[in-house]
């Protein structure tokens, strides 16, 4: 169920960022912020973009890889969501996940751990595109900071 909710949230993020060029907030009242979309170009016949986001209501940081040229085959897209703190650097790393079926989007998530402390956090992750002989790995842009409890 969390996956379906997150997928809807990220689809909205791509739509908003695409329309506005950038969506994000460092306000204490914001519950989500997103990095700008990074166009990654074409790899093995598919054109990709990525984005990072953070949601302090669900204590979630994520990275998303999207094919803008239709569904990519299983295993063509990977994402690794990471959460960073203001003084501690990398706080959580969700690890790599890959699309297990033909789709146009793959998400990598990580959840805020209580040992990370309180303060302002941001998301910065990585995505991968299959190139026919391995993967091309690219970073996302950094999301704006949001406070975590």
To the nearest whole number, what is the mean pLDDT of the chain?
83
> Which one is predicted more confidently, 18 or 133?
133
pTM of the full structure = 0.80
> Which one is predicted more confidently, 148 or 102?
102
Q: What number is the average pLDDT over the span 24-39?
A: 74
Share of the chain above pLDDT 70, in %: 77
- Does residue 28 have a pLDDT over 50? no
Q: What is the pLDDT of residues 68-123, one digit of tens each?
A: 999 999 999 999 999 998 777 888 899 999 999 999 999 999 987 766 777 889 99
DSSP code string of 28-77? TT-SEEEPPPEEEEEETTEEEEEEEEEETTTTEEEEEEEETTSPBPTTSE
**How far is the CA of 99 from the CAs of 3, 5, 56, 72, in angstroms?**
13, 17, 25, 9
Q: pLDDT value at position 9?
A: 55
Domains delineated in the chain: 2-148 (2.60.40)
Q: pLDDT value at position 75?
A: 97
């Amino acid at each position: 169920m969390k996956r379906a909710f997150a997928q809807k949230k990220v689809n909205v993020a791509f739509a908003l960022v695409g329309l506005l060029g950038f969506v994000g907030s460092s306000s204490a009242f914001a519950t989500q912020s997103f990095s700008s979309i990074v166009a990654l170009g074409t790899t093995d016949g598919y054109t990709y973009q990525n984005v990072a986001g953070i949601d302090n209501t669900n204590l979630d940081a994520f990275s998303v890889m999207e094919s803008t040229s239709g569904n990519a085959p299983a295993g063509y897209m990977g994402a690794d969501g990471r959460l960073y703190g203001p003084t501690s650097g990398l706080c959580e790393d969700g690890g790599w996940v890959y699309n297990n079926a033909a789709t146009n989007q793959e998400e990598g998530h990580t959840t805020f751990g209580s040992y990370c402390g309180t303060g302002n956090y941001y998301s910065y992750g990585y995505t991968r595109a299959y190139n026919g002989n391995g993967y091309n790995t690219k970073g996302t842009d950094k999301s704006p900071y949001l406070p975590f409890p």
